[in-house]
Amino acid sequence: MEYQFANSAAKHNVSRVEVIKIIESKPGTKIGESREKMDKLAWSGSGNLDQKIEIIAIDFINYQYVIHAMPIEKRGEEKDDYMDRLW
């Protein structure tokens, strides 16, 4: 799979390597549709130093367009199930 990154995906200093590692480690969860009517998918996983990261990407046919990557701790609280209430 190929990946493209929106400028907004770099806003929280999560590296592209970390993002790709998390995306490729498990299937994403559908959280809606983009304005182009493509699936919007979300992942959460461990980045460097075991930091929990949330990722959102639009699933275009030939590539994933990553629009968001942020440490979950920036939300102010941690839960046992990191997907709970993130999106």
The pLDDT value recorded for residue 69 is: 96
- Count of all residues that appear for the chain in the document: 87
Model-level pTM? 0.84
Among candidate residues 72, 63, 75, 55, the one with its CA nearest the CA of residue 9: 55
In a domain, 80, yes or no: no
In a domain, 87, yes or no: no
Among candidate residues 82, 85, 3, the one with its CA nearest the CA of residue 43: 82
Cross-strand partners of 55:
43, 69
Residue 58 buriedness (CB in 10 A; 0-12 / 13-18 / 19+):
buried
Is 84's pLDDT higher than 60?
no
Sorting pLDDT into bands at 50, 70 and 90, what band is 46? very high
Place of tokens 């304005």: 35
In a domain, 64, yes or no: yes
Is 73's pLDDT higher than 70?
yes
Total domain count, the chain: 1
Q: pLDDT above 90 covers what percent of the chain?
A: 74
Q: Which domain holds residue 31?
A: 2-75
Of 14 and 84, the structure prediction assigns the larger pLDDT to: 14
